[in-house]
């Protein structure tokens, strides 16, 4: 049985959200806020292998996102206003470009890369226009953070008419027990009940409408 009856490799894209140092590297952790990325670093090599296998077996479009420098000068007005609350403030002090570099994942020349200055990948109209121009209807989601940019992007993209497949073994959040519990609830209820098919990467690679014979 197909994941979606009308899905095929021509109308499907793989979206890899923010596999960047600021969301994964140990130097970007914030111990005083209990922000650790151990689980993310464990997931990323698996994601890297999956992307390579996806390219080989399916050959569909791969889209990656990174971020602008996460500071007041580059972020959206509503994030800056939110960050006036010290409990929510999360500006980066890095000015070297290290934070925005990809961690573990290595893009290919044929991949599309978009840079965003907010949580939602689909806030960039150029991305939506590019996907629509390529007749993409189905988006396979991977990346970081499940309860942050991944969630925001799925909710926004769904409202723009896209169908989603969320690979539950290839999205991850911080080590925080609270955020891990939120992630579990998203996998078990919110995503499959409201936004898209929530399956494993192994199940995706067995999808007959996608895999090249």
102 bridge partner residues:
20
- The per-residue pLDDT for range 9-65, each reduced to its tens digit, is 999 999 999 999 999 999 999 998 889 999 999 999 999 999 999 999 999 899 999
Pairing between strand 163-172 and 12-17? unpaired
The answer to whether the beta carbons of residues 116 and 123 sit under 8 Å apart is: yes
Locate tokens 């953070």: which residue?
145
182: tokens are: 């939120």
Q: What average pLDDT does range 193-208 have in this prediction?
A: 96
Provide the domain count of the chain: 1
Residue 212 lies in a domain: no
Residue 78 lies in a domain: no
Residue 72 lies in a domain: no
pTM score, whole prediction = 0.96
Q: What average pLDDT does range 75-104 have in this prediction?
A: 95
Residue 129 makes CB contacts below 8 A (sequence gap 6+) with: none
Residue 76 lies in a domain: no
Locate tokens 């990809």: which residue?
102
Residue 84 lies in a domain: no
Q: What average pLDDT does range 142-159 have in this prediction?
A: 98
The answer to whether the beta carbons of residues 18 and 149 sit under 8 Å apart is: yes
144 pLDDT tier (thresholds 50, 70, 90):
very high
What pLDDT was estimated at residue 101?
A: 98
Residue 38 makes CB contacts below 8 A (sequence gap 6+) with: 175
Residue 14 lies in a domain: yes
Angle CA 150–174–44, to nearest 5: 70
CATH assignment at residue 30: 3.40.50.850
* Structural domain span for residue 35: 9-67+97-204
Residue 165 has pLDDT above 80, yes or no: yes
Distance (Å, rounded) from C-alpha 55 to C-alpha 13?
A: 11
Residue 124 lies in a domain: yes
Residue 149 lies in a domain: yes
Taking alpha carbons only, the member of 167, 211, 157 closest to residue 192 is: 167
């Amino acid at each position: 049985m197909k994941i979606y009856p009308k899905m095929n490799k021509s109308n499907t894209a793989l979206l890899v959200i923010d596999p960047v140092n600021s969301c994964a590297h140990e130097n970007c952790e914030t111990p005083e806020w209990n922000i650790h990325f151990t689980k993310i670093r464990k997931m990323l090599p698996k994601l890297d292998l999956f992307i390579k296998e996806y390219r080989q077996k399916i050959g569909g479009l791969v889209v990656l996102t990174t971020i602008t420098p996460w500071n007041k000068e580059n972020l959206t007005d509503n994030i800056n206003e939110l960050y006036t609350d010290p409990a929510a403030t999360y500006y980066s002090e890095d000015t070297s470009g290290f934070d925005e570099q990809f961690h573990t994942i290595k893009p290919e020349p044929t991949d599309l890369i978009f840079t965003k200055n907010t949580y939602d990948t689909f806030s960039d109209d150029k991305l939506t226009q590019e996907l629509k121009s390529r007749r993409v209807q189905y988006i396979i989601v991977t990346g970081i953070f499940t309860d942050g940019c991944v969630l925001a992007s799925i909710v926004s993209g769904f409202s723009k008419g896209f169908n989603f497949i969320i690979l539950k073994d290839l999205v991850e959040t911080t080590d925080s027990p609270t955020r891990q519990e939120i992630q579990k609830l998203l996998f078990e209820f919110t995503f499959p009940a409201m936004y898209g098919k929530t399956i494993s990467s192994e199940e995706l690679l067995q999808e007959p409408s996608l895999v090249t014979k």
